[in-house]
């Protein structure tokens, strides 16, 4: 009985205490923490604490640059029913700045403030960007932090278009036109702060200038071209649309930008092999089956075509290159058997060399550099060297670009090789012959469905002329372009 009486007294005391706390009406607001801070944005957590179901007319945060909150920004979240946490967010703040924040609530017409917190917005930074090499108009991603709403991006002094700003940490931009330099820093401006990329961005460069047009309105195919000195370029032989032979040459003078017809004393032909000093082989009839081969062999010397003894082999679509005035020819003979032969210019005799490890022909490209011939096979993109002294072959690299239908270009300027412009592609690549690294150049203007008619080197420039593919209807001009590999 005593136990029951004691329990009743205890319950009564709890009830009295409970009634006393209700009458006190404990309600207040607190500023709990900074949930997030970036360069120009802050997210805050506050809390209304009460022992009763309060109706708050307004609540939120005050934010100011001074602890006295003399000119605060007010983040008003409006009415709130009952106690609990709330989150406020504000943007457009100054980067790298100290702020003070406090929560507030309006209850029964009275403004009640919580405790004050000190916080700081963050500085922007650039971590990386990719790709590090690109052409004008391509998209590039910049990784970093604290990129505010009005972030601007510059490639050197050229402003880029900002396409997206994701979570203030990733910018998608479009590469702008270049200024005067091919390698530039990427600068990111956020308000009055500027940060730069740790590495330089490199533009894809190379400019093309249309300087002339072939003087005849024809589609020249399966032709010959060669160069005499730095300024004289010869284009000719071959056929018009593979329907009729071209009998001679057109000579272009780069110094005067003029054309001149040049007669060829030999027979017309297509698919001949050629270098800057030699022309030989090929077919003497169009559309014949079986092929009718031309065995004659010519040397261009002192501005004249000089006939040499006939070739000891018959061939079409062979590939030829020179080294120390000697001529090297490799391809297939009339019986489709591979061969590799050398013409000794001093003795005017031919020597049969061991066959190359892979088949090469007119569809492939070649150039010589420092005692070696470099040959690119369009069948598998492999690049081989032939050592003239040791007469040995070695596979050294692979072409990274589009091989199209073959019949491309390879030209040397200094220690750089320029390879590409294969049929049905406008791609051109630069190969550093010291480091063996590839760099993509700007594509050649005009129709990709084109075939090279000629290419020459004069000083720091390459002169290039192409003809639209024979399958394209209509008459197209054969435009001659001057390509500056370092043009911006």
Q: With beta carbons less than 8 A apart as the criterion, state whether 298 and 306 touch.
A: yes
CB 386 within 8 A of CB 396: no
pLDDT score, position 17: 41
485: closest CA among 407, 423, 432, 435? 432
pLDDT tens digits, 238-289: 999 899 999 999 999 999 999 999 999 999 999 999 999 999 999 999 987 8
Q: What is the pLDDT of residue 12?
A: 39
Which residues neighbour 302 within 8 Å (Cβ) at sequence distance 6 or greater? none
- Cα 259 from chain centroid? 36
CA distance 285 to 192: 75
> Could you tell me where in the chain the CATH 2.60.40.10 domains are found?
125-199
Where in the chain are all domains bearing CATH 2.60.40.380? 22-120
pLDDT tens, residue order, the chain (488 aa):
333 333 333 333 334 344 444 444 789 999 999 999 999 999 999 999 999 999 999 999 999 999 999 999 999 999 999 999 999 999 999 999 999 999 999 999 999 999 999 999 999 999 999 999 999 999 999 999 999 988 999 999 999 999 999 999 999 999 999 999 999 999 999 999 999 999 999 999 999 999 999 999 889 999 999 999 999 999 999 999 899 999 999 999 999 999 999 999 999 999 999 999 999 999 999 987 889 999 999 999 999 999 999 999 999 999 999 999 999 999 999 999 999 999 999 999 999 999 999 999 999 999 999 999 999 999 999 999 999 999 999 999 999 999 999 999 999 999 999 999 999 999 999 999 999 999 999 999 988 889 999 999 999 999 999 998 877 777 788 999 999 999 99
237: alpha, beta or left, given left = phi > 0 and alpha = psi -120 to 50?
left
The alpha carbon of residue 264 and the mean position of all alpha carbons in its chain are separated, in whole angstroms, by 44
Residues constituting the chain: 488
The CATH T-level fold of domain 22-120 is Immunoglobulin-like (2.60.40)
Cα–chain center distance at 441: 8
**What residues pair up with 332 in beta bridges, in sequence order?**
338
The model carries a pTM of 0.82
β-pair type (239-240, 220-221): antiparallel
- What CATH number does domain 125-199 carry, 3.40.640.10, 3.30.750.24, 2.60.40.10, 3.30.479.10? 2.60.40.10
Say if strands 170-174 and 158-166 run parallel, antiparallel, or are unpaired. Answer: antiparallel
Q: How far is the C-alpha of 378 from the C-alpha of 393, rounded, in Å?
A: 17
Could you tell me the sign of the dihedral formed by the alpha carbons of 222, 223, 229, 232, in that order? Answer: negative
For residue range 118-155, list pLDDT tens digits in order.
999 999 999 999 999 999 999 999 999 999 988 999 99
pLDDT of residue 472: 77
């Amino acid at each position: 009985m005593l136990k029951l009486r004691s329990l009743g007294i205890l319950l009564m005391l709890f009830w009295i205490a409970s009634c006393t706390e209700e009458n006190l009406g404990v309600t207040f607001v607190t500023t709990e923490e900074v949930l997030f801070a970036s360069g120009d944005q802050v997210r805050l957590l506050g809390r209304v604490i009460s022992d009763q179901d309060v109706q708050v007319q307004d609540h939120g945060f005050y934010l100011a640059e001074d602890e006295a909150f003399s000119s605060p920004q007010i983040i008003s979240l409006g009415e709130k029913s009952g106690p609990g946490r709330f989150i406020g967010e504000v943007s457009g703040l100054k980067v790298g700045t100290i702020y003070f924040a406090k929560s507030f609530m309006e209850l029964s017409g009275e403004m009640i403030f919580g405790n004050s917190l000190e916080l700081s917005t963050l500085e922007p930074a650039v971590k990386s960007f990719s790709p590090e090499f690109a052409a004008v108009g391509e998209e590039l991603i910049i990784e970093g932090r604290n990129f505010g709403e009005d972030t601007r991006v510059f490639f050197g002094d050229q402003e880029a278009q900002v396409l997206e700003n994701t979570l203030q940490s990733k910018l998608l931009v479009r590469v702008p036109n270049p200024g005067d330099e091919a390698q530039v820093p990427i600068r990111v401006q956020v308000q009055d702060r500027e940060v730069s990329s740790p590495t330089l961005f490199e533009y894809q460069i190379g400019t093309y200038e249309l300087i002339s047009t072939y003087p005849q309105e024809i589609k020249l195919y399966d032709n010959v071209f060669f160069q005499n000195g730095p300024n004289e370029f010869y284009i000719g032989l071959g056929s018009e649309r593979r329907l009729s032979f071209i009998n001679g040459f057109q000579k272009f003078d780069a110094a005067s930008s003029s054309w001149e017809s040049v007669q060829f004393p030999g027979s017309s032909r297509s698919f001949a092999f050629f270098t800057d000093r030699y022309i030989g082989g090929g077919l003497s009839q169009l559309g014949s089956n079986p092929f009718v081969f031309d065995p004659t062999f010519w040397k261009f010397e002192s501005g004249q075509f000089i006939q040499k003894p006939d070739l000891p082999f018959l061939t079409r679509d062979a590939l030829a290159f020179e080294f120390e005035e000697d001529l090297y020819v490799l391809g297939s003979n009339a019986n489709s058997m591979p061969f590799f032969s050398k013409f000794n210019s001093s003795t005017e005799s031919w020597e049969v060399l061991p066959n190359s490890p892979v088949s090469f022909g007119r569809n492939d490209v070649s150039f010589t550099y420092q005692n070696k011939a470099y040959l690119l096979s369009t069948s598998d993109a492999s690049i081989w060297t032939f050592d003239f002294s040791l007469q040995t072959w070695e596979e050294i690299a692979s072409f990274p670009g589009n091989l199209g239908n073959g019949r491309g270009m390879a030209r040397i300027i200094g220690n750089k090789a320029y390879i590409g412009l294969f049929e049905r592609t406008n791609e051109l690549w630069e190969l550093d012959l010291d480091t063996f690294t590839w760099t993509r150049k700007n594509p050649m203007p005009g129709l990709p469905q084109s075939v090279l008619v000629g290419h020459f080197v004069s000083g720091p420039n390459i002169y290039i002329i192409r003809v639209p593919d024979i399958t394209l209807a209509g008459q197209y001009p054969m435009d001659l372009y001057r390509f500056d590999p370092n043009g911006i």
